[in-house]
Amino acid sequence: MGRLEERVIIVTGGAHGLGRAYCEGLAREGARVVVADIDGRGAETVAEILSTGGQEALAVQVDVAQADATEHMAQAALARFGRLDGLINNAALFQRPAMSRVPFEQIPLEEWDRLMAVNLRGLFLCCRAVVPQMKHQRRGKIVNISSGTVFHGAPLVAHYVASKAGVIGLTRSLARELGEYNITVNALAPGLTMSMEDEGEGRTAQSQQRLQARAIKRAEVPQDLVGTVVFLCSSDSDFMTGQTLVVDGGAQMH
């Protein structure tokens, strides 16, 4: 049996890239995965692949920036599986759609607001949607995806870095509030990661400078993060909350 046998875990942004890798890794450990994504067709594709492999999965189309959509997501998971054991807050704006990389005073206000709406407000809304059921169960696991850019202050993407720093602050506050219900809330901060859908050479060239700054001098791939996500969703991390795990090959050390 896997470490997550029978647990029901929602993964936002689960149709592509890192989110899809999380879905597949959780399913391999026995979890029943809710693939939640604004790309409904993509979510259905991932859920079908998991189901074909013998795992239970449900696809839900969701815009995490909309409160009613996140409530629908939680209720759809409950209607199908009867419980909610975990939430991976992975949905975020970064590469898709393209984000401006400019000095902070040149960031369009509408783009600042859009990133905050998805990367921070969306995370807040998803937590708000699932926590009542977790409180009822007196058990739950929330994993918020932040970013290693928070720790080295990446230039020209101030809106993205600010949103991901907010993820860590919210993680700590929620951990304090929810501990009495046996709900753990932790954050994962990946380094620059080559998605399964990246173009390869261009992305590799872009990451060469950061690769050389790592203690482990190779490209980071989605599978490098899956084990940490599984750990944070499993009973192995039951006495760990409010923490941020940096998984970046040793670029940042804390």
141 in Cβ contact with 183 (< 8 Å): yes
16 in Cβ contact with 38 (< 8 Å): no
The verdict on whether 22 is a catalytic residue reads no
Distance CA 99, CA 157 (A): 8
Instruction: For 211-231, give the secondary structure using H, E and C.
Output: HHHCCCCCCECCHHHHHHHHH
Distance CA 213, CA 179 (A): 36
Catalytic residue, chosen from 160, 184, 232, 233, is: 160
Residue type, 141: K
- The DSSP call for residue 220 is B
- Catalytic positions are 160
